[in-house]
A and B are shown apart, each in its own frame.
Chain A
């Protein structure tokens, strides 16, 4: 879309930043995690990622063609959504789950609202939640890395939920991704590598991720199994989709608040909901629901933390 609001006075320096550049950079920042996922889960992960991305781009193209809008499938946003949908799926799902997830993510999560920049909810998470509600048995069927014969194994958080005791996984295994889980969420090391690149480039700020992660850490430490202050906070930070969600999905520009104060409120809200679901809810993991619920609250947060325009609404002494 061409922006006609040119302001021409001083000799400005034109920044090379654009929506499409940001989208491709974020996708590139997910490359370490993608590589790790394919290394850990093998061909199955690769196939799911490819199907998700193709389905996502095709859906975007078809809907934009049918609604006679300019076709913007090369701006990277559909590619990124497809990749994130795949990251949120267990490696054992059949190919059609990945395709339906991406179609729902782009169709219902994004294009129904009018396309990029108009959506209320993070599209990839809409896809994931749709799949969770529709085919729960596929979406909770995990395998351990390097096990290619479809022997199912619960995630550390599922074990914690059902047996009420911490599973025997070392922090290093959790950090490197040697555990059951969704394709993209397991290898914390690779995710952090990408996140550092994005932080360094200034494409994401620390306000949301840090307040999100810190809130989960603090609350899981406080509300431990044997009383106040006995929780294993490091286990909770390294398991589930917290790192993936906090750095790559909660920070989505479209669906998160604009101001610093708003972003901190958003992060804390996500952290509280995640912890409540993990410790007391019915599901073992709550990052996706937490982010979606806070997405819905974002307009209210934005309204509440609106900055005063200089020179207006001066308070009377």
Chain B
């Protein structure tokens, strides 16, 4: 695969959320507002980048049988870095994201890329893969959280956009997240099927 394709496949063709359906749990939970969505996306991008690089570097030293625990340790290291940094410099965002930042450790997207890609490919490919997948995840979060924040709260990035609009609270609640992703997936599948 060409380097360009490694980079772009995560954004459209193999989008981790809309196509691979990975990492849906934090995805649905934090997509209430755009700022949370962006924060989560960037955190996941950083962890993905770090873990993909390290795992790709040491992929020939990790024993086959205990590879998953090894990946988890590496991922957890980066998650700890993200969590402590966020708590130090962005305390409000850290509070809003809550438990979902430490939970990136068990995010299927991060572990999935480690197992399916970084452990089999060289450093440069893994780097491009992580960037592409991370951007794909962040963009998907941006789309869903924008829909949910506008419909569920009447705001975008905390700014009121309509003067006379009564938001449908359901979109800020868990059922709204499932409705939005379900309808979006149905729409995208239909578009792709053609």
Q: Say whether B96 faces chain A, with CB atoms less than 8 Å apart.
A: no
Instruction: Determine if A136 and B186 form an interchain contact, defined as CB atoms under 8 angstroms apart.
Output: no
Q: Are A135 and B169 in contact (CB under 8 A)?
A: yes
B168 at interface, CB cutoff 8 A: yes
B166 close to A135 (CB less than 8 A): yes
Q: Is B62 an interface residue (CB 8 A)?
A: no
In chain A, positions 136-166 with a C-beta closer than 8 Å to chain B are 136
Q: Which of B171, B176, B186 is within 8 Å of A112, CB to CB?
A: B186
Q: Does B103 contact A (CB under 8 A)?
A: no
Q: Are A133 and B170 in contact (CB under 8 A)?
A: yes
Once the chains bind, are B175 and A133 in contact (CB under 8 Å)?
yes
A289 interface residue (CB < 8 Å to B): no
A133 surroundings in chain B (CB, below 8 A): 169-170, 173, 175-176
Dominant secondary structure of chain B at its interface with chain A: helix
Residues of B within 8 A of A100 (CB): 168
What string of 1s and 0s marks CB contacts (under 8 Å) between B149-180 and chain A?
Answer: 00000000000000000111111010110010
A108 within 8 A of B: yes
Task: Give the CA-CA distance A63 to B175 in the complex, in Å.
Answer: 23
Q: A134-B168, A134-B169, A136-B169 are in contact. Are A112 and B175 (CB under 8 A)?
A: no
- A136 CA to B176 CA, complexed, in Å: 15
Bound form: Cα–Cα A100–B171 in Å: 14
Bound CA–CA A136/B175 (angstroms): 15
B177 to chain A, nearest CB (A): 12
- Does B183 sit within 8 A of A, measured CB to CB? yes
Q: Does A207 contact B (CB under 8 A)?
A: no
Across the interface, A134 reaches (CB within 8 A) one of B170, B182, B183, B186, namely: B170
CB distance A130 to B170 under 8 Å? Answer: yes
Chain B: CB-nearest residue to A97: B166
For B166, B175, B176, B186, the residue with the greatest tally of chain A CB atoms inside 10 Å of its CB is B166
Shortest CB–CB separation between residue B17 and chain A, in angstroms? Answer: 20
Complex CA–CA separation, A309 to B193 (angstroms): 39
Q: Pick 18 A–B contacts, CB within 8 A, sort by A.
A: A100-B168, A108-B179, A112-B182, A112-B183, A112-B186, A130-B168, A130-B170, A133-B169, A133-B173, A133-B175, A133-B176, A134-B167, A134-B169, A134-B171, A135-B166, A135-B168, A135-B169, A136-B169
9 closest cross-chain pairs (CB), A and B: A134-B168, A133-B170, A134-B170, A134-B169, A130-B170, A133-B173, A133-B169, A135-B166, A133-B175
Q: Which residues of A contact B (CB under 8 A)?
A: 100, 108, 112, 130, 133-136
